[in-house]
């Protein structure tokens, strides 16, 4: 059921599980976060509420202190939120407790529907990533502006320099743990089904690739720029090509031995 | 920033806020859940862990007791999970405390990227839904089978009758509260920007529609059914048409007065 990527815990970069994937673990997890349009942010609203809650937010991995860090290096997760919103207030109030508000950030993306002989062995090709950490408000104006640019350009590449620029409230996650899961490949069925001619002759099996498709841009009523700018057309072309290529390539990645029947 | 749909709390079906949308509130929220490929399920793993966690799971709204219930009637949320997994164990153990494990289920989908004059007023067209409730294990074999069929057919319509059928572990959420948020429409900018010719002549504004696109099915190595069955081809055609139509239509829905500048 997919491979599990382990985020280094604490200061050590030594991954103890799945050592053969250690070199790309951080990069894989950060890439899933950074290419997600929405992150799910979970926290406990307070002692009077028994339920954790989940807010959809925009966010991006990055390092203000070491802006040249690559995707596979330790990074923080910057979240965009209005200063008045509930999670921002909780982060502000628990900030006095030094550690910040304990939150979980998760995202997942379906890359394909895996149709096998029996419902039990149906599956998705997917990517998911989870981070645990303490949320803190970004208070420095310089870091706020930096984070806003990071997040804006993550939605549409290079959009920051093509718009009129001010800052706004940001939150930053100090990560203490993280994990990711990726499932790709073809169909995995139980031997009792694959060896049953009555079943295999009747049931189509295979994968339907799925991806995020960006359509034709629709100008606003007030728009005065007649030609759609290159930073938008190339963003759409690049993302559509990348998304489709990933989903289609994922189908053909060999399954691990334990899933081959 | 979108309109908020309120789920009826308790036994009353009377929605107290946003009365003008009361007739479709439940339906809107349930539809967002039911058309999501993955749900984010948040819970607190235990007193020794300060962080809530989020698992991606497959789920579907439905009523085993009243199977003819329509989408806008009170329903339960059925989640698919392996019996041995962590959340299933927590649900089993807290089941003795009568209420079950407090969980939050959330999902969101981006329908368009709204590009405005300034990063602060950039937005997504999106749909999101959140449910709070108590998770319980489904123990009756009949209900398990019913839920498995419900969930299987939600991934690919009518797949259940086109595969070899057994049951598996399910969980059911008794909902105590829910909410949804939908944002659609075009660009909303601040007057100080729309009235600034230096800004409007330079910056393209509009919406890039986004949707989930299903590609060409790839048969498995072991597949013996040469023609792709109609339940799969029509599923792909229907979903692609619906998804694209929703995202493109959302652009043209009029913004509420407070967002019109």
Domain of residue B170: give its range: 3-259
B234: domain CATH number is 2.30.110.10
Kindly state the average pLDDT of the residues B167-178.
59
Residue of B nearest to A231 (CA): B204
Query: Does A145 touch chain B if contact means CB atoms closer than 8 Å?
Result: no
Residue A103 in contact with residue A43, Cβ under 8 Å?
yes
Instruction: Band the pLDDT of B6: cuts 50, 70, 90.
Output: low
> Which of B204, B211, B218 has the CB atom closest to A223's CB atom?
B204
Does B159 lie at the interface with A, CB-CB under 8 angstroms?
yes
Show the tokens assigned to B196: 């600034």
Indicate the number of domains in chain A: 1
From B160, B164, B209, residue closest to A215, measured CB to CB: B209
For residue A86, what pLDDT is reported? 66
CB A247 within 8 A of CB A111: yes
ipTM over 0.90: no
Contacts of B194 in chain A (CB under 8 A): 222
Residues 4-43 of B with CB under 8 A from A: 37-38, 40, 42-43
d(CA A251, CA A124): 10
Record the tokens describing residue A170, joined without a space. 């940001």
Question: By C-alpha distance, which of A174, A166, A164, A214 is closest to A65?
Answer: A174
Q: Which two tokens stand for residue B66?
A: 């009243």
Nearest CA in chain B to A236: B208
Tens-place pLDDT, residues B141-156:
888 888 888 888 888 8
Q: Is the pLDDT of residue A217 over 80?
A: yes
Q: Scanning every residue of chain A, which has its alpha carbon at the shortest distance from the alpha carbon of B217?
A: A208
Residues in contact with B99: Cβ distance below 8 Å, sequence separation at least 6, in sequence order:
B134
B53/A contact by beta carbon, under 8 A = yes
Give the residue from chain A lying closest to B245, CA to CA.
Answer: A215
Cβ-based contacts of A200 with chain B (< 8 Å): 222, 224
Q: Which two tokens stand for residue B145?
A: 């089978």
CB-CB contact of A44 with B94 (8 Å): no
pLDDT digits (tens, 9 = 90+) for A124-180: 888 888 888 888 888 788 888 888 888 888 888 878 777 776 544 456 666 666 677
Residue A190: CB atoms within 10 Å: 16
Residues from chain A contacting residue B159 (CB–CB below 8 Å): 115, 119, 122
């Amino acid at each position: 059921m997919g491979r599990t990527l382990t985020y280094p815990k604490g200061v050590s970069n030594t991954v103890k599980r799945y050592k053969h994937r250690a070199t790309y673990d951080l990069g894989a997890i950060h890439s899933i976060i950074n290419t997600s349009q929405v992150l799910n942010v979970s926290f406990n609203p307070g002692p009077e509420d028994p339920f954790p809650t989940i807010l959809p937010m925009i966010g991006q991995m990055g390092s203000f202190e070491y802006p040249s860090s690559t995707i596979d290096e330790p990074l923080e997760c910057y979240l965009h939120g209005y200063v008045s919103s509930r999670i921002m207030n909780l982060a502000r109030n628990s900030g006095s407790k030094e550690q910040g508000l304990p939150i979980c950030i998760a995202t997942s993306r379906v890359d394909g529907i895996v149709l096998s002989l029996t419902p039990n062995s149906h599956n998705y090709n997917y990517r998911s990533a989870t981070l645990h950490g303490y949320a803190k408000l970004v208070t420095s104006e310089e870091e706020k502006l930096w984070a806003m640019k990071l997040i804006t350009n993550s939605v549409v590449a290079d959009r920051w320099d093509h718009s009129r620029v001010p800052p706004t409230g940001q939150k930053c996650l100090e990560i203490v743990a993280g994990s990711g899961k990726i499932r790709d490949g073809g169909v995995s069925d139980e031997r009792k089904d694959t060896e049953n001619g009555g079943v295999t002759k009747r049931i189509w099996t295979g994968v339907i690739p799925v991806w995020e498709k960006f359509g034709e841009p629709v100008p606003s009523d007030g728009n005065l720029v007649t030609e759609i700018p290159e930073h938008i057309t190339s963003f759409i072309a690049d993302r559509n090509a990348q998304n489709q290529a990933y989903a289609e390539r994922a189908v053909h990645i060999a399954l691990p031995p334990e899933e081959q029947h």
